[in-house]
């Protein structure tokens, strides 16, 4: 597999899967065999050595990337490989799903997000101030020497069929915050990309489809892998009236924030 000699394995993602995890996945004979079937690699049923299997996968990915009729035309090799692995997530004891940090419910994203908030000096509202629209996580950061008072909203999301209603709610909350984020797992990000790639009229794989959708709305993106949270997309910063922000922060302090 060719990913570039100096490519950072922890910050580089393909189909939302970290490169380090992608490389580890390809050490699994079951996943390698699954990828061969998923990509219709010639000789998939033949008896090949592990090295020969990887070489055959490499060659098939090159064919797909060079085929102008393929959705993979021009795509990065890692995108093709990671998407093929994601399609195997229900096989082999869900090993592929675990690679993408899949969760059963959006609430499972909460602990990682709240740990991130605490590390970054945010305090979560126990109850949202009166008059504010509902959002999964609403937090504030009091002004310090090098920071201004800020209000931050986060929607925890894990259901592709409910994405549009979630984005609509975020639009309602956004005017009351400095920044808004959607938080999801790599599995959700990969599912969105696959749905976009399989949509009627889609001609090419678009690794930026989800980020572009959020950018148009001014929202950021957190990718949650257990306790690890990384910012995949920075949000558009909104300037709020300082007096309004301070009233919201005071309301949070009076209500007893859950962290910070």
The residue among 126 and 5 whose pLDDT is bigger is 126
Q: Supply the pLDDT for residue 89.
A: 78
Q: Is the pTM here over 0.85, yes or no?
A: yes
How many Cβ atoms are within 10 Å of 11's Cβ, its own excluded?
10
The structural domains of the chain, ordered by start, are 13-99 (no CATH), 106-255 (3.40.1350)
- 255: pLDDT strictly greater than 60: no
| Angle, CA of 154, 157 and 161, to the nearest 5° | 140
Q: Supply the pLDDT for residue 56.
A: 94
Alpha carbon of residue 256 to chain centroid: 31
The residue among 219 and 258 whose pLDDT is bigger is 219
- Cα-based distances in Å from 134 to 26, 129, 220, 251: 42, 10, 18, 15
Would you place residue 260 in the very low, low, confident or very high pLDDT band (cuts 50, 70, 90)? very low
* Alpha helices (H) along the chain: 19-25, 29-38, 50-66, 77-86, 95-99, 110-119, 163-173, 186-198, 209-217, 242-255
4-12 contacts at long range (C-beta below 8 A, 24 or more positions apart) = 11/230, 12/78
Distance CA 98, CA 101 (A): 5
| Burial of residue 65, with CB atoms counted within 10 A of its CB: 0-12 exposed, 13-18 middle, 19 or more buried | middle
pLDDT tens digits, one per residue of 29-82: 889 999 999 999 987 777 899 999 999 999 999 999 999 999 999 999 999 999
Per-residue burial over 197-222, b if 16 or more Cβ lie within 10 Å, else e, is beeeeeeebbbebbbebbbeeebbbb
- 134: pLDDT strictly greater than 90: no
Would you place residue 93 in the very low, low, confident or very high pLDDT band (cuts 50, 70, 90)? low
Percent of the chain with pLDDT over 70: 85
pLDDT tens digits, one per residue of 190-238: 999 999 998 888 889 999 999 999 999 999 999 999 999 999 999 999 9
- 256: pLDDT strictly greater than 60: no
Q: What is the mean pLDDT of residues 229-250?
A: 82
Q: Which of 92-106, 221-235, 242-256 has the lowest mean pLDDT?
A: 242-256
Would you place residue 146 in the very low, low, confident or very high pLDDT band (cuts 50, 70, 90)? low
Q: Supply the pLDDT for residue 96.
A: 72
Alpha carbon of residue 183 to chain centroid: 7
On average, the pLDDT of the chain sits at 88
- Residue 85's closest CA among 167, 30, 153? 30
């Amino acid at each position: 597999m060719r990913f570039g000699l100096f490519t950072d394995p922890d910050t580089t993602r393909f189909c939302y899967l970290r490169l380090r995890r992608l490389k580890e996945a390809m050490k699994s004979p079951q996943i390698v065999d699954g990828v061969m079937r998923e990509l219709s690699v010639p000789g998939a049923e033949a008896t090949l050595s592990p090295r020969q299997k990887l070489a055959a996968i490499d060659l098939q990915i090159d064919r797909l990337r060079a085929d102008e009729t393929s959705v993979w035309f021009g795509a990065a090799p890692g995108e093709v490989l990671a998407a093929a692995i994601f399609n195997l997530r229900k096989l082999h004891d869900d090993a592929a799903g675990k690679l993408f940090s899949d969760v059963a419910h959006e609430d499972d994203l909460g602990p990682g997000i709240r740990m991130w908030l605490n590390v970054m000096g945010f305090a979560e509202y126990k109850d949202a101030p009166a008059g504010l629209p509902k959002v999964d996580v609403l937090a504030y950061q009091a002004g310090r020497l090098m920071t201004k008072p800020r209000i931050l909203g986060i929607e925890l999301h894990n259901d592709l069929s409910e994405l549009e209603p979630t984005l609509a709610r975020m639009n309602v909350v956004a005017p009351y915050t400095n920044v808004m984020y959607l938080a999801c797992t790599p599995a959700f990000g990969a599912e969105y990309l696959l749905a976009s790639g399989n949509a009627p009229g889609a001609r090419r794989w678009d690794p930026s489809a989800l980020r572009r959708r959020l950018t148009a709305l001014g929202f950021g993106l957190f990718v949650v892998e257990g306790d690890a949270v990384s910012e995949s997309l920075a949000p558009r910063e909104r300037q709020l009236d300082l007096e309004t922000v301070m009233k919201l922060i005071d309301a949070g302090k009076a209500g007893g924030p859950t962290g910070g």
